[in-house]
């Protein structure tokens, strides 16, 4: 398999964690988002959405991080990333989607660039925007975790899964404008539990071959 | 089942289509987003994320539209909303996520309100923002459909599914600032095919009991 990614991309980070948890080897192809590589003709031929990650698996090119991770979970069942019952699966998917649908897209690089270039937002306003959407999403995420006995050492029980895979890159991301994690003790506890695992640690941006200071 | 929704919510619209396609009866509970009902103590007890839709099914409260729809697909298998093979499922989920992760969250009511109130964006700037993100997402969506023989009368083959369920509310939404659909002929064709089906037609905002002019 070949992963088209970028060290700083939270969505590529999710897929790296999933591949690591399942012990699947993969090759890297780096797409430098700040230099605009994602809009090159070559990359648009791989993913016309001009986004990373994209995963090549034999003849198939898969896009969108959550779709890729569900595909890996269906094709490599040894370390399941979703629980077994439909309502538990729905809980884990919903937690993942708080991050993937309600936080991360609004704080994406391309959105921040639009705020600065088109709306002339200054750095302070961009920082407030960034932290506002993480705080809004984390408030719901924290409450959902804290009020439910299904929460364990990880977001769902005592094994890491899809919700943790989305949460950890978002916590990394939240340090860009130094969001205070004090109001989110369950998130912070689970983040720390995840980072003790090599699958999460090895996937972090600073440890990728394309990492920059 | 009881659906907590709002006639104008695209995410609730998706769940209404899924329930209709599967022929599942449901009760409505209306959450008036413009009046802020989603932040009431009563609703936060149902969904601490302060978002619609939420679906009550017996003892379970499900949140996040895509998680709800996958749950309905797992618990009521008669009219499948996803294909059978992992790579086909990944294709349909990725199309759904172009809308649910890369378009809709950035154009949500709460984001538009933030642009106007906090960043003092005027109506014209908000309209440009709105259409920019739909056009960016639809360009990738259209290219993904147009270049793949798996596309049929609907986004994947000749039966409607999860990708169509996400696409149709987004096309409705695109008319708010009168986006020209000319560059997206496949999207327009599939949208029109969907709207001939009672399950899609009956789910549209104007036909809901809480609809306002």
Q: What single DSSP character describes residue A38?
A: G
pLDDT at A140: 95
**Architecture of the structural domain at A86-200:** Up-down Bundle (1.20)
Chain A residues inside the 8 Å CB shell of B64: 93-94, 97-98, 101
pLDDT at A73: 98
CATH number of the domain at B2-79, please?
3.40.30.10
Residues whose CB is less than 8 angstroms from the CB of residue A186 and which lie 6 or more positions away in sequence, other chains included: A142, A145, A146, A151
What is the value of ipTM here, to two decimals? 0.97
Strand B27-30 and strand B2-5: the pairing is: parallel
Q: Which of B17, B51, B9 is nearest to B162 (CA)?
A: B17
Q: Does residue B15 have a cis peptide bond before it, meaning omega lies within 30 degrees of 0?
A: no
**A29-88 residue pLDDT tens:** 999 999 999 999 999 999 999 999 999 999 999 999 999 999 999 999 999 999 999 999
Burial of B93 (0-12, 13-18, 19+ CB in 10 A): buried
SS3 of residue A17 by DSSP: helix
A109 interface with B at CB cutoff 8 Å: no
Min Cα distance B133 → chain A (Å) is 9
Give every residue of chain A whose pLDDT is below 50, as ranges: none
| Chain-chain contact of B101 with A60 (C-beta, under 8 angstroms) | no
**B122-181 residue pLDDT tens:** 999 999 999 999 999 999 999 999 989 999 999 999 999 999 999 999 999 999 999 999
**For residue A165, how many other CB atoms are within 10 A of its CB?**
30
Q: CA dist A204 to A75, A195, B1, B66, Å?
A: 24, 9, 41, 27
Size of interface A-B (CB pairs under 8 A): 143
pLDDT at B146: 94
Q: Which of A6, A7, A22, A5 is nearest to A165 (CA)?
A: A22
Residues whose CB is less than 8 angstroms from the CB of residue B37 and which lie 6 or more positions away in sequence, other chains included: B30, B31, B43
User: Would the CATH topology of A2-79 be identical to that of A86-200?
Assistant: no
Cα nearest neighbour of B135 on chain A = A49
Place of tokens 């797409």: A31
Residues whose CB is less than 8 angstroms from the CB of residue A77 and which lie 6 or more positions away in sequence, other chains included: none
* % of chain B with per-residue pLDDT over 70: 100
Smallest Cβ–Cβ distance between A87 and the set B60, B97, B147 belongs to B60
Nearest-angstrom CA–CA distance, B85 and A59: 14
Q: CA dist B141 to A181, A200, A205, A207, B145, Å?
A: 36, 31, 28, 33, 6
Q: Quick one: residue B23, left, alpha or beta (phi over 0 = left, psi -120 to 50 = alpha)?
A: left
Nearest-angstrom CA–CA distance, A124 and B208: 42
The residue extents of the domains of chain A are 2-79, 86-200
Min Cα distance A142 → chain B (Å) is 9
Chain B residues inside the 8 Å CB shell of A125: 118-119
| Chain-chain contact of A97 with B60 (C-beta, under 8 angstroms) | no
pLDDT at A127: 97
Give every residue of chain B whose pLDDT is below 50, as ranges: none
Query: Which A-chain residues 62-101 have CB contacts (< 8 A) with chain B?
Result: 62-64, 66-68, 70-71, 74-75, 86-87, 89-91, 93-94, 97-98, 100-101
């Amino acid at each position: 398999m070949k992963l088209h990614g970028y060290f700083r991309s939270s969505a590529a980070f999710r897929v790296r964690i999933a591949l690591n948890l399942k012990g699947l080897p993969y090759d890297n192809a780096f797409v430098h988002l700040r230099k605009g590589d994602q809009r090159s003709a070559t990359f648009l031929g791989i993913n016309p959405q001009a986004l990373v990650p994209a995963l090549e698996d034999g003849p198939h090119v898969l896009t969108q991080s959550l779709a890729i991770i569900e595909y890996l979970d269906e094709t490599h069942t040894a370390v399941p990333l979703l629980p077994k019952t439909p309502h538990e699966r729905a809980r884990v998917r919903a937690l993942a989607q708080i991050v993937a649908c309600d936080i991360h897209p609004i704080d994406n690089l391309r959105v921040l660039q639009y705020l600065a270039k088109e709306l002339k937002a200054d750095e302070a306003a961009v920082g407030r925007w960034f932290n506002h959407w993480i705080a809004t999403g984390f408030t719901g995420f924290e409450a959902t975790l804290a009020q439910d006995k299904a929460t364990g050492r990880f977001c769902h029980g005592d094994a890491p899964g899809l919700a943790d895979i989305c949460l950890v890159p978002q916590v990394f991301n939240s340090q860009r404008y130094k969001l205070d994690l004090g109001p989110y003790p369950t998130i912070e506890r689970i983040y720390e539990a995840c980072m003790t695992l090599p699958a999460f640690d090895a996937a972090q941006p600073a440890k990728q071959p394309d990492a920059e200071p």
